[in-house]
Structure 1
Amino acid sequence: MIKWLCLFFSYILMVSAHSWLGLWISMEMNSLSFIPIMIEESKENSLKYFLVQSVASVIFLASTLNQSFSFLIPFALLIKIGAAPFHMWLVSISKSTSWKILALLMTFQKIGPLLGLIMTQFTSSFFILVSAIIGGLGGISQSNLRLIMAFSSISHLSWLMINTTSFFLVSTYYVTYLIILYLVVALLQQKGLFSLTQMSDNTSLTYKISISFGLLSLAGLPPFLGFFIKWMSLEMNILPPFIILALVSSSCLSVYFYFKIAMSSLLFPSEMKSKNMEVLAVLSMGFNVLLPLLFL
């Protein structure tokens, strides 16, 4: 309980940080609170996370203390957040961790580095392009649902990075992505699904449709909610044509491997299951299908 309270307090500190030193202190407190939570599940994954975050923290602190190395600040933040091409640690941890830890890695653990990127207004075309391409291509050949979601989060980082010049756009995209993701993860965790082969298990049709809608919303397929936040990002930013092409191509690849997951579940028989799961499934469908009507 104390670990979770410290973790929650570190998120508050990160959001309220107004200087590089304050951000560094809050991110260090966040890492020190999150590592004990990871140790409970896997010492190997916690060690990987600790080493990567420590290296990034050293680079970040050295860059803030010495103006000659200030250009390294975005690199340290990209390592911490798991953006391509610094994404291998995230992929390595994702393949064997629980849905709870993975969901935190893909969302709340990105708050500090993301705020740092907003402070620098980081919009490097190279990292946006690489994250979009690797995030899209990486999930195609995967059968592990956790790896697919990890590569999808890398792809979403490219969309977040194009919005770093506007706190409103970043926060809107981030919060929407967070809610969609957590609804999907909650459904997957309830059934204990970790691979494509498990998607054929007999579950209710409502559940299968809900998980399919949530995944396709993450991919950005219209008319789901995920499409509108991506459309908003393209409309509100002036981007080079090759960046737009890369982002759209990445979303198309995401639609492909998420559609594969949806078909692997919908093509098998269904039966009625837990009422709690039904309520969550209906809530997820309503969020992804009905809420987009507000954007019209």
Structure 2
Amino acid sequence: MYFSFNSPKMFFFFILIFSTLISISSNSWLGCWIGLEINLLSFIPLISNSNNLLSSEASLKYFLTQSIASINFLTSIILKMILFKNFEMNLFLSIMINSSMLMKMGSTPCHFWFPNIMEGLSWFNNFILMTWQKITPMIILSYYMNMNFIYIMIISNVIIGAIGGMNQTSLRKLMAFSSINNLGWMLSALMISENLWIFYLFIYSFMISIIFFLFNMMNMFFINQLFINNMKSMIKISLMINFLSLGGLPPFIGFFPKWIIINSMINNQSYFVILIMIMMSLIILFYYIRIIYSSFMFNYFKMKWFKMLSKNKNFMFINMTSFFSIFGMIISTFSFY
């Protein structure tokens, strides 16, 4: 299930990057749609694996959901060209375009495909799905945003993301619901400013890249594997730092973009929305701490067959990035003065 850097996969990987650039630099709706379609057709060969039935199933599910969202988007832009003077129709079409982009990102209420697809993919493919694949729909969403509709989506995303992850034992599904929760925060950042959204996405990508790198390195996919494997204490501490940072707990770097969003939304007098977002962050922190607790508190004897297939340089990289996560908040606090 690891990502192998062979020529066809590298080709599709570059097409994936260029298709996003096509969409975000296009000056017409049709150009955006073409970019989205190229993006879809380049991502499917990356996630499909003939040796693994789960990834083949995931690629088919991904194709179907993205195709439905693309059809919805194409229909909306054709109707918009025909009925562009009708104000009530414009309101309906803005909701249609917004909902098709939200469906592409795995937002509620069309989120059921997202955890199922993540369950069938490797950690590297999950990382692309949770970060890069959100860029194009977010940019298109910012062009034609229905504010009231987006507020409802923010509330539903943070609630479903928090509650959905409560009873999950699979780390991939748990991270999928965490992504749905963070999507709510990203949408609120996008409503405030595009620069804040880019900053949030960058910090979020940085945090989950370390966590996914750790899980990939130790070949972990379920919570019980965290205490069956006797990990080194520094890996456990790194895991704790990065999960608490992802949960948005001060003084870690993950709190910094959330802090800016909270300040901006209070200034906009969106008190009810921000209250729900903060309350749901507490539930998110609860199930992150559950992962950390199982890795810290439970220890098994190291079996003879268990070997840690990781080099010292990997540990050094993880420790360095984890301590950046701690000191990042202090540096960012100084930048305010």
1:211-264 Cα deviation digits (max 9, x unpaired): 111111111111111111111111123252221121001110110000011111
CA contact (8 A) 1:210 1:281 kept: yes
Q: In the alignment, which of 317, 321, 324 is matched to residue 280 of structure 1?
A: 317
Q: 1:63–1:144: structure 2 CA closer, same or farther, 3 Å change rule?
A: same
Structure 1 range deviating more: 233-242 or 41-50: 233-242
Counterpart in the other structure of 2:258: 230
State yes or no: 1:90 paired with 2:114: yes
Q: Is the 8 A contact 2:69 2:104 kept in 1?
A: yes
CA shift digits 1:37-89 (9 cap, x unpaired): 12225221111000000010011011111124623100100110101111000
Task: Give the alignment partner of residue 46 of structure 1, picking from 59, 62, 86.
Answer: 59
In the alignment, what sits opposite 1:112?
Answer: 136
Distance in 2, matches of 1:183 and 1:14, equals 28
Is it true that 1:23 corresponds to 2:23 in the alignment? no
How far has the Cα of 1:269 moved from its partner? 5.1
Q: Which amino acid is the alignment partner of residue 169 of structure 1?
A: L
The answer (yes or no) to whether the contact 1:160–1:173 under 8 Å persists in 2 is yes
CA contact (8 A) 2:98 2:145 kept: no
SS of corresponding position for 1:251: helix
> In 1, are the aligned partners of 2:24 and 2:140 still within 8 Å (CA)?
no
Which digits, 9 at most, give the CA deviation of each residue in 1:14-45, with x for residues without a partner?
A: 33233322211111110000011122252211
CA distance in 2, matches of 1:116, 1:172: 18
CA distance in structure 2 between the partners assigned to 1:96 and 1:15 by the alignment? 29
Identity of aligned residues (%): 35
Is the counterpart of residue 73 in structure 1 residue 97 in structure 2?
yes
C-alpha contact (below 8 Å) 1:207/1:277 kept by paired residues = no
Greater radius of gyration (CA): 2
Query: C-alpha root-mean-square deviation of aligned residues, in Å?
Result: 1.8
**Cross-structure match for 2:328:** 291
Match of 1:161 in 2: 187
Counterpart for residue 6 of structure 2: none
Partner of 1:57: 70
> What letter is aligned with 2:20?
Y
Aligned to 2:232: 204
Worse overlay, 18-27 or 206-215:
18-27
Deviation at 1:122, TM superposition (A): 4.5
Scaled by the length of structure 2, what TM-score is found?
0.84
Give the partner amino acid of 1:226.
G
Is 1:218 equivalent to 2:242 in the alignment? Answer: no
User: Greater shift after overlay, 272-281 or 144-153?
Assistant: 272-281
1:212 maps to a residue whose letter is M
User: What is the alpha-carbon distance in structure 1 between the residues aligned to residue 269 and residue 183 of structure 2?
Assistant: 16
Distance in 2 between residues matched to 1:73 and 1:194, nearest whole Å: 35
Partner Cα separation in structure 2 for residue 155 and residue 59 of structure 1: 24
Q: Distance in 1 between matches of 2:248 and 2:31?
A: 35
Q: 1:209 to 1:18 in 2, by over 3 A?
A: farther
Does 1 or 2 have the higher relative contact order (CA < 8 Å, sep 6+)? Answer: 1
CA deviations 1:184-211 (Å, max 9, x no partner) are 1111110011111111111211111111
Alignment-derived partner of residue 282 in structure 2: 252
Distance 1:224 1:293, change over 3 A: same
Which letter maps to 1:7? L
Decide whether the 8 Å contact of 1:206 with 1:281 is kept in 2: no
The 2-side partners of 1:13 and 1:95 are apart by: 29
Distance 2:223 2:183 in 1: 24
